[in-house]
Structure 1
Amino acid sequence: MSLQHNHQQLIEKLFACVLACEHCATACLGEENVADMAACIKLDRDCADICAQAARLLQRDSVIGHQYLVLCEEICRLCADECGKHEHQHCKDCAAACTTCAEACHAHHTAITQD
């Protein structure tokens, strides 16, 4: 069984998180008081980028793919916490996607080590 096949569900969760974060950041820019959404927008963008990179690393069977998931879990939890502070539906949806992704990353990551 290939690594790609083993991690297909995780990769799908990573990309679902990317899409939720991108949508949330864009929707936040349209909110009445954008300044109040600045932290949310920043974390959305970081989370989307990190999750996309994690998916690419897993897809290519990178030697650091599993270690990179530690970082991915962390940014997902930070983003979920921030989005959870807001009442907008796009923030709630993003928080849910980030939490799901964080849990999936947690279940698959390995400790960061150097040989």
Structure 2
Amino acid sequence: MSSHQNCIDACQECAIACERCLSAMIDMDSNNDCPHCCRECIDICLLCSQAMARDSRFAEAICKLCADVCQWCAEQCEAHEHDHCQACAKACRECVETCHSMAA
């Protein structure tokens, strides 16, 4: 599997995990930026996967931004004990790794 495809897959998995976390957190109190970070993460992950799929000239820059947003989201979500937050943080961390490899 190509590194582009690995990153596309990681971005899509991250967007899904963030959607689940965002949905579960809607009526819950949070002492940090979760679930707001999830909304940001969903948008950049989808944009990143689209940019890579079309081999955009900006894919590398978008991957770098995506890694930064996913890092922030992982830090916010992993501070919570909820299973959906932990799953979100894990998916974000995986996305950070693949996006960094694409942006290098």
Higher relative contact order (CA 8 A, sep 6+): 2
Structure number, greater radius of gyration: 1
Q: TM-score range by the shorter chain?
A: over 0.9
Across the aligned residues of Structure 1 and Structure 2, the Cα RMSD in angstroms comes to: 1.4
Check 1:48–1:37 CA distance in 2 against 1; reply closer, same or farther (3 A cut).
farther
Aligned residues: 103
1:30-69 matched pairs, under 5 angstroms: 30=27, 34-36=28-30, 39-69=33-63
Please say if 1:29 is aligned against 2:32.
no
Give the distance between the partners of 1:38 and 1:81, measured in 2 at CA: 10
Specify whether residues 87 and 61 from structure 1 end up closer, same or farther in structure 2 by C-alpha distance, changes over 3 A only. Answer: same
Give the alignment partner of residue 101 of structure 1, picking from 87, 90, 95.
95
Contact 1:28 1:37 in 2 (8 A): no
Structure 1 residues not aligned, in runs of 5+: 111-115
Judging changes above 3 Å, is the alpha-carbon distance between structure 1 residues 37 and 15 closer, same or farther for their aligned structure 2 residues?
Answer: farther
**Residue 84 (structure 1) aligned with residue 81 (structure 2):** no
In structure 2, the residue matched to 1:7 is: 4
Alpha-carbon separation, structure 2, partners of 1:67 and 1:99: 18
Q: Distance in 2 between matches of 1:57 and 1:9?
A: 14
How many percent identity over aligned positions?
A: 36
Could you tell me how far 1:39 is from its partner in structure 2?
A: 1.7
Q: Could you say if the C-alpha distance between residues 56 and 81 of structure 1 is closer, same or farther in structure 2, counting changes exceeding 3 Å? A: same
Moved over 6 A (4+): none
* 8 Å contact from structure 2 (residues 3, 102) kept in 1: no
Give the distance between the partners of 2:76 and 2:59, measured in 1 at CA.
26
After TM superposition, give the deviation of residue 35 of structure 1 in Å.
3.3
TM-score, normalised via structure 2 length: 0.92
Q: What secondary structure sits across from 1:87 in the alignment?
A: coil
